[in-house]
Amino acid sequence: MSRKSKSRQTTGSTGIKAAASAMDSLRRLLREGAIIYEARRNFILQSDDPEHVHQARVALRRMRSLLRGFDGMLTGESTSAINDLLAKKFRELGPLRDADVHAEAVSGQDGADQARQAAAELRAQLRQAFRDSTDLSLKAQIDAILHDSVKVLRGARRQRLARAPVTIIAARALQLAWTELLAFGGDLDTLSPDGLHQFRKRAKDMRYLVDYFAPLFPDASGKMPKRLSQMQDALGIVNDLAVMREKSGQDEEIRLPADAERTEAKARKAANKAWRKLSSEPAWWCDIPPRPTKGA
């Protein structure tokens, strides 16, 4: 069973500049994410390749991590409105993603035909839902929420954060995400199933924030993105098997891969190894690049 992430190759470069304001950067990154999602959505209508479903969910998850990073800059109402929009689309893709993962995991085993058929039926249902939808594009919906700056940035504190260079907000976002990860402790095997699930979500936040913001910091560690990716891939396998195990208890036609226990043990070991290395990484984001002065 393999779960090699491709998001770093498919999401594209953000291209934000250190001197750009936090609000301008947030708008740009959300728009880029929405465009990526819409492109993947169109591919889902035309192709059976499971990667399009996966990358559509990655685009949505990256945007949700971005909002967590900019927490406190937008009003709670505005943040919730965007989050709810992204979460709805994320859930819409969930059943098909789970079915695609299951079909791949049991390929060549008993139950493979049933798994492929289940995924095909869910893909047809999702395509029909897409065709029946009268919603505006995701980009247009996000722009509609953010169009009124006075409402979105109510209060002097939020306006001050919005005008600040994005490196300041980036450093705060990375430090908060890193602190949340470190709080889980150094041994992932001691975490409960729910604790490990929460760790995986926070690790995703850290990984995506590093993807967004590392180019802004001259001393950014080149090892952190790779190790975060390795850990995320391993934890993804553990999560996929947990989902399959839960569903197999509800539906006897859903079967676990023949090597599920060995695969899970190997993935847990890989995740722990990556986390031990990661937890000793330096906090390179604490060295905020100097703010350009006028005339420089």
Among 164, 199, 219, the domain boundary falls at: 164
Name the pLDDT band for 9 (thresholds 50, 70, 90): very low
Closest CA to 174 of 69, 55, 265: 69
Could you report the per-residue pLDDT of 151-167, keeping only the tens digit for each?
Answer: 999 999 999 999 999 99
Higher pLDDT, 145 or 258: 145
**What confidence score (pLDDT) does residue 15 get?**
72
Mean pLDDT of all residues in 73-90: 97
Tokens 């945007």 belong to which residue?
63
Distance CA(113)–CA(68), nearest Å, equals 40
Q: Could you tell me if 152 and 221 lie in one domain?
A: no
Q: Could you tell me if 185 and 160 lie in one domain?
A: no
Q: Could you tell me if 152 and 217 lie in one domain?
A: no
Q: Could you tell me if 140 and 27 lie in one domain?
A: yes
Mean pLDDT of the chain: 90
Tokens 């079967």 belong to which residue?
255
**What confidence score (pLDDT) does residue 63 get?**
98
Q: Could you tell me if 151 and 184 lie in one domain?
A: no
**What confidence score (pLDDT) does residue 255 get?**
80
* Percent with pLDDT over 90 in the chain: 76
Residue 285 lies in a domain: yes
Q: Could you tell me if 159 and 170 lie in one domain?
A: no
Q: Within 13 A of 143's CA, how many CA atoms are on the CB side?
A: 11
Full DSSP string of the chain: ------HHHHS------TTSBHHHHHHHHHHHHHHHHHHHHHHHHH---HHHHHHHHHHHHHHHHHHHHTTTTS-HHHHHHHHHHHHHHHHHHHHHHHHHHHHHHTTTSTTHHHHHHHHHHHHHHHHHHHHH--PPPHHHHHHHHHS-HHHHT-SHHHHHHHHSBHHHHHHHHHHHHHHHHHTT-S-GGGS-HHHHHHHHHHHHHHHHHHHHHGGG-TT--SHHHHHHHHHHHHHHHHHHHHHHHHHHTT-TT----TTHHHHHHHHHHHHHHHHHHHTT---GGGSPPPPPPTT-
Whether 111 shows a pLDDT value over 90: the answer reads no
**What confidence score (pLDDT) does residue 264 get?**
94
Residue 196 lies in a domain: yes
**What confidence score (pLDDT) does residue 7 get?**
42
Name the pLDDT band for 258 (thresholds 50, 70, 90): confident
Mean pLDDT of all residues in 27-32: 96
Which 3 state secondary structure label does DSSP give 131?
helix
Among 133, 164, 195, the domain boundary falls at: 164
Name the pLDDT band for 24 (thresholds 50, 70, 90): very high
**What confidence score (pLDDT) does residue 10 get?**
40
- The 8-class DSSP code of residue 72 comes to T
Whether 1 shows a pLDDT value over 70: the answer reads no
Distance CA(150)–CA(144), nearest Å, equals 13
Distance CA(43)–CA(66), nearest Å, equals 24
Residue 201 lies in a domain: yes
How many domains does the structure of the chain reveal?
2
Q: Could you tell me if 32 and 155 lie in one domain?
A: yes
* Percent with pLDDT over 70 in the chain: 93
Residue ranges of E strands in the chain: none
Residue 97 lies in a domain: yes
Could you report the per-residue pLDDT of 188-246, keeping only the tens digit for each?
Answer: 999 999 999 999 999 999 999 999 999 999 888 778 988 999 999 999 999 999 998 88
Q: Could you tell me if 112 and 176 lie in one domain?
A: no
Higher pLDDT, 249 or 277: 277
Q: Could you tell me if 251 and 134 lie in one domain?
A: no
Give the CATH number for residue 54.
1.40.20.10
Q: Which domain holds residue 218?
A: 165-291
**What confidence score (pLDDT) does residue 14 get?**
59
Q: Could you tell me if 118 and 78 lie in one domain?
A: yes
Mean pLDDT of all residues in 43-69: 97
Residue 11 lies in a domain: no
Q: Could you tell me if 187 and 95 lie in one domain?
A: no
Residue 8 lies in a domain: no
What pTM value is reported for the model? 0.89
Mean pLDDT of all residues in 92-115: 93
- Is the sign of the CA dihedral 37, 41, 47, 52 positive or negative? positive
